[in-house]
Structure 1
Amino acid sequence: MAISSIGVGSGLPVDQLLEDLRKVENAPLALLESKATTYQSRLTAYGTIKSSIEALKTASDALGKSETFGALKTSVNTDAFTATASNKAIAGQYSVNITQLATSQTLTSGGYADRKEQLADGSVKITVTLQNNESKEFTLSRDQATMEGLVKAINADAKLGVSATMVNDGSGTPHRLLITAKDTGTQAAVKDITVAAGDTGGATDFSKLQNLIGFGAGAPAGGSGLAVTAANNAQLSINGIDITSQSNTIEDAIEGVTLTLGKETEAGKTNTLSITRDDTVTSKAITTFVNAYNNLQGIIKTLTSYDVDSQQGSALTGDSLARRVQTQIRSALNPVAASGAIANLSQLGITTDPASGNLKIDDKKLAAALKDNMADVEKLFSGENGISSRMAAVATEFTKSGGIIANASDSISQTLKDLGKQYDAATLRIDAKMESYRKQFSALDTMMAQMNSVSSYLTQQLAMLNNLSSSSNDK
């Protein structure tokens, strides 16, 4: 007889039996999943530690740079200029008087009615020479020899030293060409603009173009068609010393100081620049370093902790690599053969909390050390065997490609791949086994159904025989 569902024929709870068998067979899969979860947690934890080490190295590297120590800050009593100072500058006060700002030269053409008017009957070669005697040339084809084409060609070449645009003044001949030197100062101004026939398809008549743009030695007969707004150099005095500059940004007129001029000094007013020590640059760098160190220690503590109450470990509980990071990073805090008034972190006001292992800063002691012994503080961190170089060496060994953490992570990644293969193989084996169980139960179900059918048939036949026998006896 046909069986539509396993268990229907026999009445056995076959589906439940198969489900229970699947749970038993899946036990090895749960173990593999647990192992994979553990290894994945370790891999993630290693990545977290690596990122924290890199952050510590960045903070440590800043303490290895000379500009972190003895930084200077500037203040001015005016909006006529701004100033910045490097650590090459010397603290002091300066009087800055600005009599003229640096400006760019501007050349303006007369008006033209048609900006698309043809200005040459063939190709032309235009040469632009600056006052510093730098010369650049470009070529216009016949189709480009218009005001529009000239503007596009000038702006397409960044090396010309000039830029161009057109201005519409609203008159009957409104279109004017405006050429501006890209840099300020007299040396960046245009000296000559000459027009000549091009090498290929050269123009025989380019007088209109020459009248438009010819300048200096290249000006047409009768004078240039370009009006000139002359370039100026910046002129100022610092503590009575006169200074001339091509630019409004003036570097090292005062050693280590950059001045950016904004406007001329108002009559009767004195502009003052003050340069003073800025120890906050160093203290902020040290604080950032201490915070990065404490953050790493806290992360390692969290990742290696063990909860006694729940008897539950963390991702790296008992992990030797994490402890190795902690030990070597701590060791890097001790410079080799340091000397001077500030030879170790405790003399700087930085001590280790015995309970947490974190660093603590005594702000007052740190400020005093920076004020009185900046050179020794710099040596402690950025010397040949200072904390910065030692920390960088340790950090690099852990974080570099092919380093300690990379190798450990690669090993875990390979283990995860192997576990994945084992999981897939085990799943296939379990699926095959469950299919075998299903077939066996199906056969059993069919057999039981057949036996039940035969039993029913025999019961019916015996009942009929019983009835026949009873009828005969009644007669």
Structure 2
Amino acid sequence: MSTTSSTLNSVLSALGGSNGIDVTSTVASILYADRAPERAWQAQQTTLATQTAAIQQIESESSSLSDALSALQSSTGALTSAAATSSNSDVVTATAVAGTPVSSHLIVVNSLAATGSWYSDPPTSSTATLTAGSFDITIGGATKTISVSSSDTLATVAASINSQSLGVTANVVTDSTGSRLALVSTTSGTAGDFSIGNDSTTTFKRANTGTDASLTVDGVPISSSSNTVEGALSGVTLNLVGAAPNSEISLNVAPDTSSITDAVNTFVTAYNTLITDVNSQFKYDSSTATAGTLQSDSAVQGLQSALLAATNYSSGSATLSNLNALGISTNADGTLTLNSTLLGVAVQSNSAAVTNFFQGSALDGFAASLTSTLNTYTDPTQGAFTVDLKSISNEYSDLSDQTSTLELYLASQQIILTAQYNAADIAIQQLPQKLKQIQALLNPNASSS
């Protein structure tokens, strides 16, 4: 009897004692064990998400490199940019459009274009009313009569003139002597000059006569209504700053070394950013015993090889046939270093060869070659990275589907297990009473206690 009682007590203790089973904790422990595959899938999804971000970053960096190459390949881009340099910027400056050929010119600025202007006299108060009357403004062969009432001030007359779009701008000018009405032509030169007549309200005086600029370009006389002269030199805009009738100004048009250097430097920076990121995928960190996220990605491996091979490109030209000839050297880690001085010398001595290296004879030079290589990885439909990302996305979705399926199964299992353990808990709660009953049957002469 003592053996039977001891055995029953041991069973009761193993099943939770007299307090029964903690059903919630027990079921949770079982479900946690059943979720082991799900935790592995989630870890895989984390890795896939990290790989996706890494590929997208490399894609973005490849796009930046493509943009830099596009600027070098453009027929109107930095490589064709030109700069016009004046020997006396106090007299004339100039700008040149892309593609303007190298040339030198001699310019003499005899006089600047002037703008016609008049002003009222004598000065009066800005708020004083004027004598009723009128005056005529004649410009471009057309005459307009301006009526002035006894309630008008300089400000109201100015507003009236400005509202009529006559080719004249009116302003009230105030100084220590009082206020005057100033009229200025909206265009410079002879064609913009105007006159005032038949004045019966105030007296106007001419301040300036509208005249055309006078200059010679390589001995050819030029007249311009504006101090911004276009058409005198093909592709060049002259900006007249001052008059120097007896002084020849040298104007030289040459490749814009600064813009070209900036464009090439942008390419070098974009290339270095990409190759550095790609290289980092294959660096082994001994402290953490890990390599880059994309260490085993064949597309990244291929891109690294392609980028390194691109630095060996040769145009086949007898001069400036490779990057090194342009002052761009390759470092041991595959990155590039630009020597701006050497590039400047190459541009000044043979800008056509520099352009030919990047653009080729039919946009088939270095820029097009490397761009084509990058497109095999970044093409939105068939690119290697596009295929990579699609494969990763599909794998991620498959893992999500497996997780959802497992969760549906575990939800039903939770209901079943909860019911089973609740039933077991009830049974265990009843064991002490049943134990007493068994003890009473086995030993009817024992005390009721």
- State the alpha-carbon separation in 2 of the partners of residues 188 and 80 from structure 1: 23
Residues 136-155 of structure 1: CA deviation (Å, up to 9, x unaligned): xxxxxxxxxxx999999998
Residues 198-220 of structure 1: CA deviation (Å, up to 9, x unaligned): xxxxxxxxxxxxxxxxx99xx99
- State the alpha-carbon separation in 1 of the partners of residues 102 and 386 from structure 2: 46
Q: Does 1:249 align with 2:228?
A: yes
Of the candidates 329, 346, 358, which is equivalent to residue 381 of structure 1?
Answer: 358
Of the candidates 344, 352, 356, which is equivalent to residue 333 of structure 2?
Answer: 356
Q: Does 1:185 align with 2:189?
A: yes
Q: Cα RMSD between the aligned structures?
A: 5.0
Q: CA deviation at 1:40?
A: 1.4
Q: 1:312 is paired with a residue of what secondary structure? A: coil
Q: 1:250 is paired with a residue of what secondary structure? A: strand
Q: Does 1:260 align with 2:239?
A: yes
Change (3 A) 1:467 1:391: closer
Change (3 A) 1:314 1:279: same
In structure 1, stretches of 5+ residues that fail to align are 1-5, 116-127, 136-146, 192-214, 470-475
Of the candidates 262, 286, 292, which is equivalent to residue 270 of structure 2?
Answer: 292
**Which one-letter code corresponds to 1:387 in the other structure?**
F
Q: CA deviation at 1:459?
A: 7.1
**Which one-letter code corresponds to 1:357 in the other structure?**
G
Residues 294-344 of structure 1: CA deviation (Å, up to 9, x unaligned): 322111111344446644242211212222333444555566763222233
- State the alpha-carbon separation in 2 of the partners of residues 451 and 399 from structure 1: 71
Q: Does 1:50 align with 2:59?
A: yes
Check the 8 A contact 1:72/1:89 in 2, yes or no.
Answer: no
- State the alpha-carbon separation in 2 of the partners of residues 307 and 287 from structure 1: 31
Greater mean deviation of Cα atoms: 268-277 or 402-411: 268-277
Change (3 A) 1:237 1:457: farther
- State the alpha-carbon separation in 1 of the partners of residues 176 and 388 from structure 2: 75
Check the 8 A contact 2:255/2:348 in 1, yes or no.
Answer: no
In structure 2, stretches of 5+ residues that fail to align are 1-14, 129-136, 143-153
Q: CA deviation at 1:391?
A: 2.3
Q: Does 1:37 align with 2:16?
A: no
Residue 59 of structure 1: aligned partner: 68
Map 1:63-102; keep pairs closer than 5 Å: 63-65=72-74, 67-68=78-79, 71-72=82-83, 74-86=85-97, 88=100, 90-92=102-104, 94=106, 96-102=107-113
Check the 8 A contact 1:333/1:391 in 2, yes or no.
Answer: no
Change (3 A) 1:452 1:342: same
Change (3 A) 1:113 1:376: closer
- State the alpha-carbon separation in 2 of the partners of residues 129 and 325 from structure 1: 72
Check the 8 A contact 2:92/2:242 in 1, yes or no.
Answer: yes
Q: 2:232 is paired with a residue of what secondary structure? A: coil
- State the alpha-carbon separation in 2 of the partners of residues 154 and 423 from structure 1: 79
Q: CA deviation at 1:451?
A: 2.4
Aligned residues: 413
Check the 8 A contact 1:343/1:380 in 2, yes or no.
Answer: yes
Map 1:433-452; keep pairs closer than 5 Å: 433-452=413-432
Of the candidates 16, 29, 35, which is equivalent to residue 20 of structure 1?
Answer: 29
Residue 319 of structure 2: aligned partner: 341
Q: CA deviation at 1:43?
A: 1.6
Q: What is the TM-score with the length of structure 2 in the denominator? A: 0.69
Change (3 A) 1:421 1:228: farther
Map 1:192-271; keep pairs closer than 5 Å: 230-238=209-217, 241-265=220-244
**Which one-letter code corresponds to 2:294 in the other structure?**
L
Check the 8 A contact 1:338/1:380 in 2, yes or no.
Answer: no
Check the 8 A contact 1:74/1:85 in 2, yes or no.
Answer: no
Of the candidates 400, 408, 433, which is equivalent to residue 420 of structure 1?
Answer: 400
Q: CA deviation at 1:386?
A: 0.8
**Which one-letter code corresponds to 1:382 in the other structure?**
Q
Residues 94-149 of structure 1: CA deviation (Å, up to 9, x unaligned): 4x55454334455889999999xxxxxxxxxxxx9974x9x9xxxxxxxxxxx999
Change (3 A) 1:270 1:336: closer
Check the 8 A contact 1:75/1:275 in 2, yes or no.
Answer: no
Change (3 A) 1:426 1:184: farther
Q: Does 1:392 align with 2:374?
A: no
Q: What is the TM-score with the length of structure 1 in the denominator? A: 0.66
- State the alpha-carbon separation in 1 of the partners of residues 220 and 72 from structure 2: 37
Check the 8 A contact 1:167/1:178 in 2, yes or no.
Answer: yes
Q: 1:102 is paired with a residue of what secondary structure? A: coil
Q: CA deviation at 1:282?
A: 3.5
- State the alpha-carbon separation in 2 of the partners of residues 129 and 435 from structure 1: 99
Q: 1:447 is paired with a residue of what secondary structure? A: helix
Check the 8 A contact 1:151/1:165 in 2, yes or no.
Answer: yes
Residues 399-438 of structure 1: CA deviation (Å, up to 9, x unaligned): 3443413343344334434433433343343333234323
Change (3 A) 1:9 1:424: farther
Q: 1:341 is paired with a residue of what secondary structure? A: coil
Residues 38-87 of structure 1: CA deviation (Å, up to 9, x unaligned): 22122212211112212222222232245525844525544454333445
Change (3 A) 1:366 1:108: closer
